Structure 1
Amino acid sequence: MGQDRGVPEKTEEGRPPEMVTLAEIARRVDLSKQRVQQLAHKDPDFPIPKEQWQKVGRYYFLPWEPVKAYFEARDPQHGVHFAKREERRQAEGDDSK
């Protein structure tokens, strides 16, 4: 409680934050769900501590904006950084034409 890196209550526009599951995060950043879970549990720089995740039914939800910023700033050691995903997909699409 009282942590700066916690779940934001509202966006700058005054709306509730967009909440996403780990599976949705994985889809958006083009990683496996297992890799996202691993980073969320083990990386001390992950922006939302597990005790602040919001559980609804069987799923945990996290605010998208701080998670998005984390993945944009992250320097992956292996694979393609998700910021390059669209560039790669467009190149793949161009090759098939």
Structure 2
Amino acid sequence: MPDADEGGGIPEMVTFTEIARRLNAGSYLTRPITRQGVRHIADTDPEWPVPQERWMRIGNAWAMPWAPIEAFFSKRTTRGRGPSSKEASDG
């Protein structure tokens, strides 16, 4: 199915597991992320670039185009769990 975002060609589809692998292999994040972490972001971040109606079921996994997800993580401000190390050391 052609994707207008990617010049009309067939988009490279990735699963949550593959997204986590690529994010961890690249310089997108300051600490590792799991597929569950990626899924949590997809479910809760209103800026997630691929709406669920564009996800494709492949076997028991969901797949979606990589290009908008890569752009999302390239521009995303770092968020994390709990206070930053500076805030923790100030208390």
Q: Same fold (TM over 0.5)?
A: yes
Percent identical across equivalent pairs? 38
Q: Which residue of 1 aligns with 2:6?
A: 11
Cα deviations by residue, 1:8-44 (Å, 9 ceiling, x for unpaired): 25732x4201000010000111221111010000000
What pairs up with 1:33-72 in 2 under 5 angstroms? 33-72=35-74
Gaps of 5+ in 2: 25-32, 82-91
TM-score (norm 2): 0.70
Q: Structure 1 length normalisation: TM-score?
A: 0.66
RMSD of the alignment, in Å?
Answer: 2.0
C-alpha separation in 2, matches of 1:34 and 1:57:
18
Q: Tell me the matched-pair count.
A: 72
How many angstroms apart in 2 are the aligned matches of 1:11 and 1:72?
17
5+ residue gaps, structure 1, are 1-6, 80-97
